[in-house]
């Protein structure tokens, strides 16, 4: 289950791209108030030392929610010592989706998305191409599903770090080696390759 605090929501809304629906609007429209956790205070939250000061409230909210995985585009801002001490990992959404989505789940998702759209991209293949611009790891993982579809070009720089932590994002077991997102058992179960991390 996804959880966040109002402070994290406000930050996400500030960083929403033109045309994107703000998280606060989605929460209101879909009645997601149960997804909110209280904004953390200094009382009762674990101390954070090697995470960027601008992202410490995110880690504190994750701790309040008892989360194990922090999905963020700013993985490099989260300190490994803090994550390890709090039994958490930080992972880029692209690496998370590439590691955890099955081909059948991906196809079903794109079919559902395309059926709800009237404007392009409004076919599964076109959505796959468009998603590739911002999610190259996911696009590469799903190339066998849509082999004739190239990803659209992007003007975004690739993130320097897509994963940080010592636990499998699915089962929470300790990873056998660094730079992995899934343990060997979960890689076999999902059929996923291993996106690289820090």
Extents of the domains making up the chain: 4-94, 95-158
Q: b/e string for 83-100 if b means 16 or more Cβ within 10 A?
A: beebebbbbbbbbbbbbb
Q: How many whole angstroms separate alpha carbon 68 and alpha carbon 83?
A: 9
The model's pTM is: 0.83
The per-residue pLDDT string of the chain (198 residues; one tens digit each, 9 = 90 and over) reads 678 788 888 888 888 888 888 888 888 888 888 888 877 665 445 577 899 998 988 898 898 888 999 999 999 999 999 999 999 999 999 999 999 999 999 999 999 999 998 999 999 999 999 999 889 999 999 999 999 988 888 877 788 899 999 999 999 999 987 778 999 888 888 877 656 554
């Amino acid at each position: 289950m996804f959880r966040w605090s109002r402070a994290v929501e406000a930050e996400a809304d500030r960083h929403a791209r033109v045309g994107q629906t703000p998280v606060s609007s989605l929460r209101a429209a879909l009645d997601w108030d149960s997804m909110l956790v209280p904004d953390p205070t200094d009382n009762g939250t674990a101390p954070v030392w090697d995470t960027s000061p601008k992202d410490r409230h995110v880690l504190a909210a994750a701790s309040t929610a008892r989360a194990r995985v922090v999905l963020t585009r700013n993985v490099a801002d989260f300190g490994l010592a803090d994550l390890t001490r709090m039994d958490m990992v930080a992972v880029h959404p692209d690496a998370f989706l590439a590691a955890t989505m099955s081909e059948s789940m991906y196809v079903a998702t794109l079919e559902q998305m395309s059926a709800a759209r009237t404007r392009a991209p409004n076919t599964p293949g076109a959505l796959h191409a468009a998603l590739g611009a911002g999610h190259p790891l996911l696009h590469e993982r799903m190339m066998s599903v849509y082999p004739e579809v190239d990803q659209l070009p992007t003007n975004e720089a690739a993130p320097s770090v897509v994963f940080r932590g010592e636990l499998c994002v699915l089962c929470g077991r300790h990873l056998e080696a660094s730079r992995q997102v899934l343990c060997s058992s979960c890689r076999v179960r999902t059929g996923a390759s291993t996106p690289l991390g820090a």
